Chains A and B, each alone.
Chain A
């Protein structure tokens, strides 16, 4: 009965979404305030219905109701409760429901925190989000209903994919979806601006915190996914250029460009059409990502079971949403205006260059991801594009973008002078160039890539230090007053940029200095790597709720002193009969020691892989810094509701 109620609730949600997607938008066009006023209560109602439906599905999982197909396919009576709940979004239908739920959360949030936005604009924004919701609810109800029944009921479920039975799995997808779906807000703002023909500094200020919020979620989501791959896949990699990873990375790149472009639109009134286009692209790429994962067009470790009807439906939806909004853009882009002029050397032009580089990078990832498909469709053969392509294309695009990160914040708006910039940055340039050469020589491995990576990382550190120093020197009344004198969004920018530097440093060092060995070890054998001795003490069997495991112990010592004990595990999930490895990792600021068990060999021996990964944790720490910078920028007082009216009147007088 509960699943039917959930299903019914979803149907009601579709009707509400249809109303939300039509009346407020028509009302805005005709100036009918009653119709526009419907947007807010309908957003709340839609959220309540979808949330209720979600709870019904969660209940079916918690209560082990194997008469529901989706539950029977993704759960098992032996599965612990926290994973039974996470299994709600462990498969295709449930993750769509999560998508719809998160969309309704964002819609509700916009309806609650938009008192300052003109009625017509708000009605259009919520209406556009309602239309997106219609698409997803229709998709679910027509071809991916999570509440479909199984008659007769299964005795037990097929179990959740063991890869997903991990605490990281509980957070990774919701975070990622919060980011994906969050870009729907920026998208809706842009469509509303195109429809209404109004795009000014106030519009940019309203959409900025929403965009940054979505970007923060996406950053954390991608980071969590990368971290999960690192300890769950058991071979020490943290990024694979897998089609589905790319699908989350493309919106991130475009979203990053969008954040910067919005800054220019708010401060200088420029880049308006470009900002709108980026907002459309960021969300379009999120939708495309969904399509790639769901349709089975590309092979990937993430791909769910495929069904051509689903693919056709999502593609039709993509064409309507993306094609429609791009046509609207072509038709109405002129009405939003072009904005102020600026010099070739100015903060605007640096930000424009950064935008172009990020957009081209996103395009190149898109090309690499879809290239095998293009060739196949043209009957030119089947190939796969691997990390070599992405590494070769990506680094040359990102290097100048990171370099510009050091210059942009220091350059003046409108027009800046190159000689002056050089004078201000000469120390930063010298320090980073020297570090890039001396440090690798000291560590004994100087290659062009290591040199470039270190140069960029230290360039951002040093130029940010210069930037902060100049700011603090100008202010009066001590350090604290100096810190307080700059806005939170400015500090957010500095921290996010430093996060990039930390990330680049981590990537460079781990790529340049990591080492690994694969050895056959009998209990008591000792392997040596990076100055450490790894003693294998054999395995003991240790069983979990739904798996049997061989739990290994490796004592790690240096110069005879015990440093840590690594405990890699090899599990066999009994229902799906899938083997899984859990790496044994000793994380550390300077380096990770990482071991994973391979196959059992004769006589109690095991094949063991041991990795030494210097500074690998910095990669994720850098991502967290970026996300923190975003949060800080979002909390800037000029975005806060009670200040909004005043600052809107004050116009564009604020500092960057």
Chain B
């Protein structure tokens, strides 16, 4: 009788882990950059290539840094959300157009709406390497001191905006 209980005991342990697993997100990969200052760069702006953008320019406010590209399928999913977010004026979103051509990127924004305060152009992906971009899209929350507070890999969803990103933004803005 005792030996015959072993399979049951093992199964119950496994079920415990599976239950815990339901509340974890396997796609949420921690970034070593969280808690560190956002890597500095200076990149030309998409709308005015003569001017440049640097994260320094945003010091003193909480902002979202969204890596996107016109060739990226998942960006299409999140784009309407970003446009809606921009309309609320809760937080500014700076885009980084990643490994893209200016013409296609401009057309993409014209067709789908431009939620960005501005977009920096990372044509060869150099800055993407500093930020550890796995794939497009990715979104960073950066605080008033220029420190990365959160990183989202993959498209922003309604849930991640409502449950993670916006509450964090509010907290950081209150600081």
Contacts from A to B (Cβ < 8 Å): 273, 277, 280-281, 284, 291, 295-299, 308, 311-312, 315, 318-319, 322-323, 326-327, 329-331, 333-334, 370, 372-374, 376-377, 382, 577-578
In whole Å, how far is B74's beta carbon from the nearest beta carbon of chain A? 10
**Counting CB contacts under 8 A, is B23 at the interface?**
yes
Q: A299-B26, A299-B27, A376-B24 are in contact. Are A326 and B18 (CB under 8 A)?
A: no
| Chain B, interface residues (CB within 8 Å), range | 20 to 34
Q: Is the CB of A329 within 8 A of B20?
A: no
Q: List 13 A-B contacts (CB under 8 A).
A: A281-B7, A297-B26, A312-B22, A323-B12, A326-B11, A329-B8, A330-B1, A330-B4, A376-B24, A376-B26, A377-B20, A377-B21, A577-B76
- Bound CA–CA A577/B21 (angstroms): 32
> Does B129 sit within 8 A of A, measured CB to CB?
no
Given A577-B73, A578-B73, A315 and B22 contact (CB-CB distance below 8 Å): yes
A642 vs B156: C-alpha distance when bound (angstroms): 64
Binary contact readout B41-55 vs A (1 if CB under 8 angstroms, 0 otherwise): 000000000000000
Tell whether, in the assembled complex, residue B18 and residue A373 are in contact, meaning their CB atoms are under 8 Å apart. Answer: yes
Would you call A291 and B18 a contact (CB within 8 A)? yes
In the complex, chain A residues whose CB is within 8 Å of the CB of B26: 296-299, 372-373, 376, 382
Nearest CB on B from A639, distance (A): 29
Q: How many A-B residue pairs have CB under 8 A?
A: 79
Q: CA of A333 to CA of B12 in the docked complex: distance in angstroms?
A: 19
The answer, yes or no, to whether B90 is at the interface (CB within 8 Å) is no
Interface centre among B11, B24, B73 (most CB of A within 10 A): B11
A318 in contact with B8 (CB, 8 Å): no
- Complex interface: chain B residues within 8 A of A578 (CB): 73
Those 9 A-B pairs whose CB atoms lie nearest each other, nearest first: A326-B8, A377-B20, A330-B4, A311-B22, A297-B21, A330-B5, A299-B26, A373-B21, A333-B4
Q: Knowing that A326-B7, A382-B29 touch, tell me 13 more A-B residue pairs with CB under 8 angstroms.
A: A273-B4, A295-B22, A297-B18, A299-B27, A318-B15, A323-B15, A330-B1, A330-B4, A331-B1, A373-B17, A374-B17, A376-B21, A382-B26
A415, B30: Cα distance in complex, Å: 58
Contacts of B30 in A (CB 8 A): 382
Closest to A599 in B: B71
In the complex, chain B residues whose CB is within 8 Å of the CB of A374: 17
CA distance A333 to B29 in the complex (A): 45
Contact of B24 among A273, A322, A377, A577 (CB under 8 A): A377
Q: Once bound together, how far apart are the Cα atoms of A274 and B19, in whole Å? A: 28
Q: A311 contacts which chain B residues (CB < 8 A)?
A: 22
| A319–B29 CA distance with the chains assembled, in angstroms | 29
* In contact, B21 and A323 (Cβ under 8 angstroms): no
With A299-B26, A323-B15, A382-B30 in contact, is A329–B4 under 8 Å at CB? yes
Q: Please, how many angstroms separate the alpha-carbon atoms of A262 and B8 in the complex?
A: 22
Say yes or no: is B14 at the interface (Cβ < 8 Å to chain A): yes
**A6 and B28 alpha carbons, distance in the complex (Å):** 39
Query: A377 to chain B: which residues have CB within 8 Å?
Result: 17, 20-21, 24
Which residues does chain A contribute within 8 Å of B14, judged by CB atoms? 370
Residues of B contacting A318 in the complex (Cβ-Cβ under 8 angstroms): 15, 18
Residue picked from B12, B17, B26, B73, most chain A C-beta under 10 Å: B26
Partner of B7 from the list A277, A291, A295, A372 (CB cut-off 8 Å) is A277
Q: Which residues of B contact A333 (CB under 8 A)?
A: 4
Q: Which of A281, A296, A370 contacts B17 (CB 8 A)?
A: A370
Q: Which of B7, B12, B18, B76 is A329 in contact with, Cβ under 8 Å?
A: B7
Contacts of B28 in A (CB 8 A): 382
Residues of B within 8 A of A376 (CB): 21, 24, 26
In Å, the complex CA distance between A343 and B21 comes to 45
CA distance A329 to B8 in the complex (A): 9
Q: Known interface pairs A329-B4, A329-B7. Does A315 touch B18 (Cβ–Cβ under 8 Å)?
A: yes
Expressed in whole angstroms, the Cα–Cα distance for A299 and B153 within the complex equals 14
Q: Given the complex, which residues of A lie within 8 Å of B27, measured CB to CB? A: 299
A331–B7 CA distance with the chains assembled, in angstroms? 12
A297: nearest chain-B partner, CB-CB = B21
Q: How far is the CA of A297 from the CA of B18 in the complex (A)?
A: 8
Contact with A along B32-76 (1 / 0, CB 8 A): 000000000000000000000000000000000000000001001
Using an 8 Å CB-CB cutoff, how does the interface string of B144-159 with A read, 1 for contact, 0 for none? 0000000000000000
- A373 CB contacts on chain B under 8 angstroms: 17-18, 21, 24, 26
The complex places the Cα of A330 from the Cα of B14 at a distance, in Å, of 18
Given A297-B26, A315-B22, A376-B24: A327 and B8 interface contact (C-beta under 8 Å): yes
CA–CA, A298 to B21, complex, Å?
Answer: 8
Do B8 and A319 touch across chains, with their CB atoms under 8 A apart?
no
Min distance, Cβ A392 to any Cβ of chain B, angstroms:
23
Question: How many Å from the CB of B75 to the closest CB on chain A?
Answer: 11
Who on chain B is nearest to A579 by CB?
A: B73
**Residue numbers in A under 8 Å from B21 (CB-CB):** 295, 297-298, 373, 376-377
Q: If the complex has contacts A298-B26, A577-B73, are A323 and B8 also in contact, measured as CB distance less than 8 A?
A: yes
Give bound CA distance, A311 to B21, whole Å.
10
With both beta carbons as reference points, the residue of chain A lying nearest to B16 in the complex is identified as: A377
Bound-state CA distance A334–B4 (Å) is 9
- Among A284, A297, A323, A382, the residue within 8 A (CB) of B22 is A297
A315 to B23, CA, bound (A): 13
A323 & B11 in contact (Cβ 8 Å cutoff):
yes
Instruction: Specify the chain B residue showing the minimal Cβ separation from A578.
Output: B73
In the complex, the answer to whether B73 meets A319 with C-beta atoms within 8 Å is: no
Least Cβ distance of A356 to chain B in Å? Answer: 14
Residues of A within 8 Å of B73, CB to CB, are 577-578
Question: Can you name the residue of chain A whose Cβ is closest to the Cβ of B15?
Answer: A319
CB distance from B54 to the nearest CB of A (A): 32
Q: Which A residues touch B11, using CB under 8 A?
A: 284, 322-323, 326
- The complex places the Cα of A291 from the Cα of B20 at a distance, in Å, of 14
Nearest-CB residue, chain B, relative to A308? B22
